[in-house]
Every structure is written in structure tokens, then in C-alpha cells.
Structure 1
Amino acid sequence: MKTYPKFKAAACHAAPVYFDTPATLEKACDMIIEAAGNGASLIAFPEAFLSCFPVWSGVWAPVDTHEFFFKMASSTVLIDGPEMARLRSLAKRLGVFISMGINEGTPNSFGCIWDTNVLIGDDGSILNRHRKLVPTHWEKLTWAPGDGSGLRVVDTRVGRIGALVCGENTNSLARYSLLAQGENVHISSFSPRWPTHPLGEAGYDLEASIRLRAGAHAFEGKLFNIVSSGFLPPEAIEMVCRDNPQVRRLLEESPKSVSMILGPDGTAISETLRDEEGIVYGDIDLARCVVPKQFQDVVGYYNRFDVFDVKVNRRALAPAQFFDSGDPYTSAGVPDLVEGETSRLAALTLTGSEA
């Protein structure tokens, strides 16, 4: 008889140290060590945890945000940089999986930033990098759109893991593309707050939307959903508001985000964190995903593949493609590239994007 993985998952409800990547990385490592010490095998962090969420774009006019954008761009993380190397080393040492939200930079441009989720394996490898397909509303002022190369589900010893970032969990086709790959553990990462309306007007209820979207995906897919959301501390509010009382009130009164873990019926199997930082835990038994598939299996018998035809473009995009007839530098007597440079160029050629 087939056996199904059982493990403990952890969702971190936490705030970064804004624009301070080294300090935020230290905080992340401390939380990973704490969660692993409490028996967690999969540890999830919020959207853009390394090292800030651009909440200022929701409360200031674009002409007033250049300072924030400069600091954010200057604190980005490279996928092959030292921050990721440290997280990979820690994951391998502790034997845990880490889902981390980063502001991903690129050597191609000082100002291009992606809202990226990275899944690190328990062997220290990068299992997947998913760049948010479409930044939501005012997030477009900061982040570049991603591509479909990260719409992947990774088969691991704890289950088949997929992830989407914040508003993507509203996109039914993005969610279905993961379900169609056999996803049974989903990671949803969210922002700390998301102001959308002036003071006094009914705005976007972030907590309600998270519960609705996360619960719907868990129920539709008959899977477990780990929700990790950011937290907006007083010092971040003080920094963003710039002594403007109206902006301060708007940030303080915007609905807070929540972190929790949901079961295959869409209900919470963990406590919920909202008003303080911390870690929530949930015991996951993938055997619970089997029986509910009898009722609706949207990637199995409960679908009409003759009626619906879904195609997903997972080709990685790059700024340009270069076709060289040879290496003019070698023929001119310039030494060959060193081993590291050769490997990087080979990786660029193979992937069509940064190594």
C-alpha cells in the first residue's frame, strides 16, 4: 500500500529590517533555526522578505518615492549571490526546505527588480525560482513582470510543492497550472498591508481576501496551503510616513495581513498570526488529500479535457539573445576565460536568463 509524507510546516509572520539586507538575513536565519528546532521540515517566509515590501507606493505619489526606490534597488538579492548561498548552506545543514521571498536583482540592470519566490531544497539546491507574473496595482511602480519559467511544482520527500506570490493566488489559470502538475503542498506569500483607498473609505480587506483565496485553492486542489505574510512594524510606518499624519493613519488603519496553514478542506490547521511577529506550525499528512479527490478532482475525472485546453508558456525570457560566430579575443591572443566565467556563460546560454 502506498504511503504518504507526514511532516511539520512553519509559516513565518515577520517584518524585514527595511533596506538592510544583512540584518534581515540574520533575522531569517534565526527564525529558520528556531523553526527547525521545533521540528519543521518546510519553513516559509513572506513576500519580498529580503528586504522590504514597497508599501510607500500605495500612500505616496510616484514623484515622492525616488528615495525609497533607490534604497530598495540598492538592497536587492542576486539568485547566485552571497545571501542565497548562506540560506542554501543553512538549509543543507539543518535538512529543511526554505521558501523565501526576495527582491531579486540582475547584473543586466541596476533598476530592474523582480518580486521573486525561491524554494531551497533540504540538500541546499535551488529547486525553483518564481518571479511574480504581474505586479499588482501600484506595485507596478517598483517590480518588473516575471515570466512563466517558475510555474513549476517540485517533487520532494515532503510532497509536491508549488508557490505563488500574493495576488497571483487570485489568478485561476496560474493556480491551475500548479494543480495540473500534481501540487499537494502550496505556499502563498503575502504583503504586510495593502492600502488602496483614502481614509474613511472602505478599502481592500487583506485578511478577508487571504482567507478566501488560500481557502479556495486548498479546497479546489484538495491540498495543504501554507500562508506566510509580512508584518509592518512601527519603525517601518514611521520611516514611510515622513511625519505626515495622514499617511501614518492610512498605514496604521489599513487591514493587516495574516499567516496560517490550511488543510485540504480549506480550514485552518494552525493558529493565526496577525498583530505580532512569530511562527505558526501545522502538522501535514498528505494522506488527507486522497479521499476529498473522490468528490471533485479538477485535474482528474472532475474535468473535461475535451472542452478545456490550457497551455502554459514556461520559456524563460532574457533582454537579448546573442549569436557569435566565434571568440575574436582568443584568436587575437587574449587568454581564455577563467573557469568560473566560462561556467556562467554556459549557464546563461542554457537558461536564457541569469544563472
Structure 2
Amino acid sequence: MGMQHIVEDLKPFTAAAIQAAPVYLDTSATVDKAVALIHEAASNGAQLIAFPEVFVPGYPYWNWTLNPVQGSPWYEQLYRSAIDVPGPHVDTLRAAAAATGTTVVIGVNERGPHSLGVLYNTVLTIGPDGSLLGVHRKLVPTWAEKLTWTGGDGGSVRVHQTPVGPLGVLACGENTNTLARFALLAQGELIHVANYISLPVAPADYDMSQAIAIRTAAHSFEGKLFSIVSCSTITEEMIEIAAGDRADIAKMMRRPRSALSGIFGPDGQPVTEPLIDEEGIVYGEVDLAKCIQPKQMHDIIGHYNRFDVFRLHHNTTSLQPLVQGPYPAAGSPPRHGVDAVGDPWVPQDPETN
């Protein structure tokens, strides 16, 4: 999609950032809640709807509060509650996006297709016609998350051409990865969706809501774009599982300022008051025309860079556990697709396929 086409289609629209908790470890009920929230946000005029990280069916808080042996049964329960991509739960979400004519971004726990036990922290991007535009797997699980999730690959770090504009996604701590963010910016990203989980189990001096706001503002200001940030909330059921009979853990998990959701503009400022800790939906106007003038000052993917000095290589190969057939000839591209065993989903780009 060229810039001329984008300029011709620049129309303000409403984005919605969902701050909510899943029906913890109940996949069907959580998907039903997501569908209801999609319809609610759409009825209020939203054309882009962003959900939290691993909203379906929840985040493994036990990794932070139990030792690995104690947490292992909960890992199995999360695996059993995770979803397949593609699969029936994805179809339900796709149908809701199509029924409302909205672009939907939602985090899920995805079962790996090639191994019983592999889980991915995955972000789905669904178009307003119900098409599955993107399946992004978090590149590096953060800290204790390594006990649960396998890392993804660069094949899913992509900007999708949607009716609301060029859209990219990153999950939680990935928004701290400067190179991942630059890879999206260099593909022409103008709308960024960052999804998070409420993290009260961080160190005592760590303000998660402030950390989310800083990262969101930084990407918006550096890229001169709009960011929609969506964060989950904590429920008593999550606290009961993660804390057990530890009162100190339960107190920590109720710590305030652990979640923030909102919409930020190309000046790095929120376009409306963000929501902290409580469940709700934040609505805000996204006007991509406001991204033009700020780039005259700092366009880090254009005139405000020196590509003869700095260069980023982005490996977009979709990695596979097994490639069948003879070794490829020297210099030939890596095999994937029909020759590969493992992941059946390959990102589709209508401009190159």
C-alpha cells in the first residue's frame, strides 16, 4: 500500500482499549466475554478494538509466586485451556469482528501445533471482514514467563494494512525492545497496539502503570504515531491461585497502579484520560493526519536517520522444528511452507503472495 493511498484514506476514527479480566482459565466463557465487549465497543462507534495480553484465558501469575514444581499443575491447566490457531475459538472471535465491522487485536495462549506442551503468548489481529491478518508470537517471554511460553520468530513482526491504517502489534515487554519497535516503524506503522497484563507481583518500587505509560509514550513520540494500549486486571480468583495461603503474596497482588489502558497520540500524550486498575473501556479519536507535521522534526525512518551509518537486519523466516527433504543448495533461501513440519500458519501479505 503506497503513501498516496494512505493519504487519500486519512479519516479520523474511534479506537477502544479494553481493560478487563478474563474469566480465568475458562476459555469459552472468556471468548464469550470478549465477543460481548467487541459488540459493546462497536456500538459506541469503535472501529479498532484492542484487548489485553493473553486475555484468552489468562496469565500464569503462579510463575511469580510459586516455585516451578508447585506451579507445574497450573501450567498443565493453562495448556489444556489454551486455544489452537486456527480453531473454533478463533472462528468465534473472527465472526464477532465481521459482525461488527471492526478490526480486533486480542492476546491468547496458543498451543504449538507440533508439540504437546508448547505454549505461545500470541497476539491475533483480525480484520473487519473476519479475516485473520496476523498471528504474532511474543519473541522473548519476560523473566518468570520463560517457565510457560516458547518464543516466537521474526516472521510475525509485521505491519498489517487494515481499513483504519497500517497497524502493528507487540506484547508487553516487547515494547521495551527498541529494535522490534523500529522494525514495525520501518514497515510504515502508523497505529501501534501494545497489550499488557496487570503486574502487581513486580518489585516493590516498580510502578507498572507508569512503566506502561512511559513505553507507550516513547513509541508514540519516537514514531510519530498513535498507540492503543490495553491491559488486563486482577481478580480475586487469580489472587487465590497465585497466593494460596500466603497473606503477603495476596497483599502484593492487590497493589494499586498495576494496570493502565488508553490511547496515545504522536506527541506522546494520551488523547483522553487513561484508565488505571479498574475494568472499563477507554475510547479515543485517532486522526492519522496528525502524524504528518511532527515527522518534519523527527522522522527516524526517513530524514532523521543515517542508514549509511546504522542498519537493522530483520530475519523474517518462520522457524520450523523440522524441514524435510534434501539440503538446499548453497545460497538458496530457507525452506518453509509445504516442506516444513510444524506450524501450519504462514503470514500472508497480499502484496507479495
TM-score by length of 1: 0.89
Shift of 1:230: 0.7
Q: Please point out which of 251, 261, 264 is paired with 2:263.
A: 261
Residue 44 of structure 1, aligned match among 50, 59, 66 = 50
Question: Contact 2:170–2:193 at 8 Å: present in 1 too?
Answer: yes
What residue number does 1:274 align with? 276
2:31: which partner in 1? 25
- Find the partner of 1:184 among 190, 202, 213: 190
Q: Structure 1, unaligned stretches of length 5 or more?
A: 325-345
Kept in 2: contact 1:193–1:254 (CA 8 A): no
Residue 109 of structure 1 aligns to a residue in which SS? coil
SS in 1 for 2:306: coil
* Equivalent residue number for residue 171 of structure 1: 177
Mapped partners of 1:289, 1:35: distance in 2 = 25
* CA displacement at 1:228 relative to structure 2: 0.2
Tell me the C-alpha RMSD between the 2 structures.
1.7
Please give the alpha-carbon distance, in whole angstroms, between the structure 1 residues aligned to 2:341 and 2:103: 24
**Of 58-67 and 298-307, the range deviating more from structure 2:** 58-67
After the TM superposition, which residues 37-186 of structure 1 pair with which residues of structure 2 at under 5 Å, given as runs? Answer: 37-186=43-192
In the TM superposition, what whole-angstrom CA distance separates every residue of 1:90-131 from its partner, at most 9, and x where no partner exists? 211211100010001123222100101110001111111110
User: Residue 291 of structure 1 aligns with which residue?
Assistant: 293
Partner of 1:313: 315
8 Å CA contact 2:112, 2:343 repeated in 1: no
Shift of 1:56: 1.3
Q: Deviations over 1:210-262 (max 9, x none)?
A: 11110000000000000000101122212321122122112122641110110
Q: Using the aligned pairs only, state the percent identity.
A: 45
What is the DSSP-based 3-state SS (H/G/I as helix, E as strand, rest coil) of the residue aligned with 1:240?
A: helix
Measured against aligned partners, the alpha-carbon deviations of 1:322-347 in whole angstroms (never above 9, x if no partner) come to: 239xxxxxxxxxxxxxxxxxxxxx96
After superposition, the C-alpha distances for 1:165-204 in whole angstroms (9 at most, x for unaligned) are 000000000000000011000000001115233xxxx332
Structure 1 residues 222 and 127: alpha-carbon distance in aligned structure 2, compared to 1, 3 A threshold: same
CA distance in 2, matches of 1:30, 1:348: 38
1:332 matched residue in structure 2: none
Q: Residues 113 and 21 from structure 1, CA distance in 2 versus in 1: closer, same or farther, beyond 3 angstroms?
A: same
Tell me the alpha carbon deviations over residues 48-106 of structure 1, each in whole angstroms, 9 at most, x when there is no partner: 00001111111111121012101101111111110001111121121110001000112
**Which 5+ residue runs of structure 2 have no aligned equivalent?**
327-335, 346-353
Alpha carbons 2:55, 2:232 under 8 Å: kept: yes
Which stretch shows the higher mean deviation, 230-239 or 5-14? 230-239
Q: CA 1:280–1:164 in 2, change beyond 3 Å: closer, same or farther?
A: same
Q: 1:205 aligns with which of 197, 204, 207?
A: 207
For the pair 1:247 / 2:254, whether they are aligned, the reply is no
